Amino acid sequence: MSADRFTLLVPLKPLAAAKSRLRGAVPGTRHEDLVLTLATATLEAAAASPAVARVIVISNEPLAGFETLPDPHQDLNAALVEVARRLSGPLAAIPADLPALRPAELTQALELCTTRSFVPDAEGTGTVLLAAPFGDLDPRFGPGSADAHESSGAVRLSGDWPTLRRDVDTLADLAAVKALGWSHAGHHLRV
């Protein structure tokens, strides 16, 4: 692993607006609590990676225990560009919905990033990791982001990283992360 560790950016929409396809997916659980649980699990795992020097949440929602910078644009890509401009060194970005993430998988993927690179999601269409060891993220998140990142010159990384590649957008995704070993213990959720 390079001596230079990554600053990891994690954008998070306002809790009430995030993960809209999961609204009502867990009966008896406030939607905001579910979103916060997914984000907290993701952030804790990411911070535990030895390849990560710093985790910054980009959000207008303060998250206790995590460094947070405001989202100046309310747009994922614009917010990443704006915050990245203020930083130097290796940068990476992940979504806030990788609750089963194992730090070792994130570490392995980041160790392979010798140039601007990305890891597609489990379906192969989205992006769960975008990394730039020399600082120019040039994010293209959104529908079809895997192809957009690849078309922009980012190197597609593949590896056996099931917890890194599994983001949560639907109830089926929640079941998939539970099967990967995610435990919501301590978060008072019944998933």
The 10s digit of each residue's pLDDT in 154-178 is 999 999 999 999 999 888 898 899 8
User: Does the domain spanning 6-179 belong to CATH 3.90.550.10?
Assistant: yes
pLDDT tens string 45-99: 999 999 999 999 999 988 889 999 999 888 899 999 999 999 999 999 999 999 9
The answer to whether residues 80 and 139 touch, using CB atoms and an 8 Å cutoff, is: yes
Q: To 5 degrees, how large is the angle CA 178–CA 104–CA 154?
A: 100
Q: Where are the beta strands (DSSP E) in 126-165?
A: 127-132, 155-156
Q: What is the pLDDT of residue 91?
A: 97
Residue 128: pLDDT above 70? yes
**Identity at 184, one-letter amino acid code:** H
Token pair belonging to 45: 């795992």
